[in-house]
Amino acid sequence: MSVVVVGASLSGLRTVQALRRKEYDGPIVLIGDEPERPYDRPPLSKDFMAAPDAPVPYLTADGELEGLGVELLLGQRATGLDPVRRRVVLAGGDTVPYETVVVATGATARRLPVPGAGLDGVHCLRTLDDAVALRRALDRAPRVVVVGGGFIGAEFASAARKRGLDVTMIEREAAPFAVSLGERVGTALGRIIQDSGVVVRTNVSVVEARGATHVESIMLSDGTQVDADLVLLGVGVSPATAWLAGSGVAVSDGVRCDAGLRSVSTPRVYAAGDVASWPHPALGREVRIEHWTNANEHAEVIAGGIVGDAVTATAVPYVWSDQFGRRLQVVGRSAAGDDVELIGTGGALCAAAWSRDGVLTAVLAIDAPRIVVRARKAIQQRVPAADFVRDQLAALA
């Protein structure tokens, strides 16, 4: 029985490693559209960007995958899936047969559909090539504009400020992080960003990028112009599922899976990491989670399913972000309409707790790892949010 993993991503690599740990001894093929061996994405917007000499954050040593008996097809882009004949189709027309296929193609960075978005100097940050190009651009001491006040945008802005560069952040919502964490929390986090010297513009969007061949400025929806030598688009990602068109694999904001990460429509197909959408029992709804820890858990679930030791994906979501000298950690998953309570001391935000019907659903902690440990357990045990907040306030007193 052969397993073909499409996507030399974190989840793809971890699936390969988990299969071998579980004593799967059949052939494994790992297909990746980049020529590089698997690397870690989170450092690309942090240490790799802030330090001009930071090494590539590879996930394996030279030869490690070959030592696991894995056939590597790097620099090969999958363009189609034939689940009847069980073949993965590659860009050059070659096909790779499989008994089981794991879709681990991750996500692609979104671009802005505005005039001038294709000018030189307008960047996304998703791949190693993106990060190398951005790091070189930062060496030229540009005026930096970051479009989007989420995690990637804030981390890149932090790295640029570490280099002493002028940075402006553009966020179409009322505050940075408003989309993922809500306006109240986003406003508090926005103060941290501004205190670090970033100019933050909210409630405006980009309508045009201007320049001859290289970006020179951007125009905003309120009619103002911001000079720029470098523009970083941090406006989210889309699951990389276009190559599955026509295959019959059910897709809706990712590959739709059951709780064991098997495709709901197509036998012998699994999905892992950013590209997978599945019903999370603790959250009570179908989710697609773009977290490093999620990719690791998925690998264990899928490897177990393949070798006949089936389990389900149930871990409480967790993500962290290092920016502006602070560590943000979020455990759980909030949703629109959840109540939120801010927890702080001396006027500074230390944490935030979200709840639904009085039950704790998610917690943000700033430089407070102990709160995260307590929050994970509290969310698993469906602790009342009021009890959790009371206990944290007492601990801060």
284 assigned to some structural domain: yes
- Report the range of poorest mean pLDDT among 47-56, 236-245, 266-275: 47-56
User: Bridge partners of 178?
Assistant: none
Decide which of 214, 233, 252 is a domain's last residue: 233
Compute the distance between CA of residue 262 and CA of residue 269 in angstroms, rounded to an integer: 6
Question: Within this chain, do residues 134 and 207 fall inside the same structural domain, yes or no?
Answer: yes
Residue 319 lies in a domain: no
**Residue 22's CB: how many other CB atoms inside 10 A?**
14
Q: What is the pLDDT of residues 30-68, one digit of tens each?
A: 999 999 999 999 999 988 988 888 899 999 998 888 899
Does some domain include residue 389? yes
> Please, are residues 262 and 270 in contact by the beta-carbon 8 Å criterion?
yes
Range of the domain at 214: 111-233
Output the six-digit token pair for 40.
């870690």
DSSP 100-131: EEEE---EEE----STTTTSBTEEE-SSHHHH
As for how many domains the chain has, the answer is 3
Nearest Cα residue to 42 out of 18, 64, 7, 10: 10
Q: Which residues pair with 95 in a beta bridge?
A: 89
Q: How many Cβ atoms are within 10 Å of 112's Cβ, its own excluded?
A: 20
Residues 96, 241, single domain; the answer is yes
Cβ pair 391, 374 in contact under 8 A: yes
- The CATH number given to whatever domain includes residue 257 is 3.50.50.60
Query: How many Cβ atoms are within 10 Å of 277's Cβ, its own excluded?
Result: 23
Pull the structure tokens for residue 307.
């070798």
Does 287 map to a domain? yes
Q: Tell whether 335 and 247 lie within a shared domain.
A: no
**Model confidence pLDDT, tens digit, residues 63-111:** 888 899 999 999 999 999 999 999 999 999 999 999 999 999 999 999 9
